Amino acid sequence: MAETYSTQKLTVDSFETVRLSDAAHGIEVSICPSIGNIAYDMRVKNKPILMAPPPLAEWEQNKSQAGIPFLAPWANRLDGDEYWANGKRYRLNPHAVDIPRDRDGLPIHGLLLFASTWRVQSLASDSRAAEVTSRLEFWKHPEWMAQFPFAHSIEMTHRLSGGILEVRTTIENHSMDRMPLLIGFHPWFQIPDAPRDHWRVHAPVREHYRLSGKVIPTGETEPVDLPDPTPLAGRELDGVFGGVDANSEFWLEADGRRVSVRFGPKFPIAIVYAPLTHDFVCFEPMTGLTNGFNLAHEGIFKNLQSIPPGETWTESFWIRPSGF
């Protein structure tokens, strides 16, 4: 009998990549450790359910969002170049490293979006799953520590089993202080061969955060006011949501096909992004609220997570395609 699961190390456009395969469900996932450890392609019966980048050599030179990027040590925006942690104020040092910025000049998506220093730690496949684990040693990079002086390491495992991709993140705090945690992911989903006007989404959330003109939460919330499911024909979504039901799944569906996403309980915040002008939907798992470092200091955001000295934090989210 042919093996159901396999893990292969491949060279694509001179880049080392890893491909996970689940033959029984016709699913393949490709990860490029040296470009942000991004799972840049996920296919079901050769149909891509992630928005793909250009060829890797071109992508490495002209970076753009695609696949499942990792956002750390802060996800989304800070409201300026200063932030608070453990009652102390820290300032970013843009002379040490390029800091991604949004159209208003605010720091966005952290420092690791396309980091080249991830290293594969293990590859495995057996009768139950195919997986790869990669590691990044944040503390070894003074240009990053100059921005976020909390020594830590990150391991990320992509595990394909039973038709479901799990993305599991483990962070070790090597610092003597508690490490504030404000990370997230920015997956770009699509339903291939189905027009956007056929797409519908479901978001298991209970509250919506009002945003300023610079897309920073004000601290005010309101009940979610979305039809369920929400048709995307003529509709744009771009919101920050709380009260995520960890036992339920976000989903995008069209013409009988569905991509479902379930967040682990340590991802209590979701961003849902579906612009009118593009054919993708982002269900983004977040550990905390946009600008959470500063909103926590102001007493607006009460649930900023942190990792005690010498301890670790682990959480996953899961992607399940069906109907393909």
Tens digit of each residue's pLDDT (9 = 90 or more) over 258-295:
999 999 999 999 999 999 999 999 999 999 999 999 99
Specify the pTM.
0.97
pLDDT at 11 over 50: yes
Say how many CA atoms lie within 13 Å of 73 toward its Cβ: 28
Residue 1 pLDDT: 39
pLDDT at 3 over 80: no
How far is residue 232's CA from residue 218's CA, in Å, rounded to a whole number?
26
What average pLDDT does range 169-176 have in this prediction? 98
How far is residue 89's CA from residue 79's CA, in Å, rounded to a whole number?
13
pLDDT at 176 over 80: yes
Other beta carbons less than 10 A from residue 300's beta carbon: 15
Residue 246 pLDDT: 80
What average pLDDT does range 122-151 have in this prediction? 97
What average pLDDT is seen over the chain?
96
Other beta carbons less than 10 A from residue 195's beta carbon: 11
What average pLDDT does range 229-243 have in this prediction? 96
CB 216 within 8 A of CB 252: no
Q: Looking up tokens 């450890």, which residue turns up?
A: 37
Confidence of residue 247 (pLDDT cuts 50, 70, 90): confident
How far is residue 227's CA from residue 206's CA, in Å, rounded to a whole number?
13
Tens digit of each residue's pLDDT (9 = 90 or more) over 185-219:
999 999 999 999 999 999 999 999 999 999 999 99
> What CA–CA distances, in Å, run from 114 to 18, 109, 118, 134, 148?
16, 11, 10, 14, 17
Q: What percent of the chain has pLDDT over 90?
A: 97
Say how many CA atoms lie within 13 Å of 54 toward its Cβ: 8
Q: Give me 62's structure tokens.
A: 């002209």
CB 88 within 8 A of CB 101: no
pLDDT at 2 over 80: no
Q: Give me 218's structure tokens.
A: 């004000």
Q: Of 42, 14, 17, 15, give the one whose Cα is nearest residue 261.
A: 42
Confidence of residue 317 (pLDDT cuts 50, 70, 90): very high
3-state secondary structure string, the chain? Answer: CCCCEEEEEEEECCEEEEEEEEHHHCEEEEEECCCCCEEEEEEECCEECECCCCCHHHHHHCCCCCCECEEECECCECCCCEEEECCEEEECCCCCCCCCECCCCCEECECCCCCCCCEEEEEEECCCCEEEEEEEEHHHCHHHHCCCCCCEEEEEEEEEECCEEEEEEEEEECCCCCEEEECEECCCECCCCCCHHHCEEECCCCEEEEECCCCCEEEEEEECCCCCCEECCCCCEEEEEECCCCCCCEEEEECCEEEEEEECCCCCEEEEEECCCCCCEEEEEECCCCCHHHHHHCCCCCCCEEECCCCEEEEEEEEEEECC
What average pLDDT does range 118-126 have in this prediction? 97
CA 129 distance to own-chain centroid:
22
Tens digit of each residue's pLDDT (9 = 90 or more) over 28-59:
999 999 999 999 999 999 999 999 999 999 99
Other beta carbons less than 10 A from residue 39's beta carbon: 26
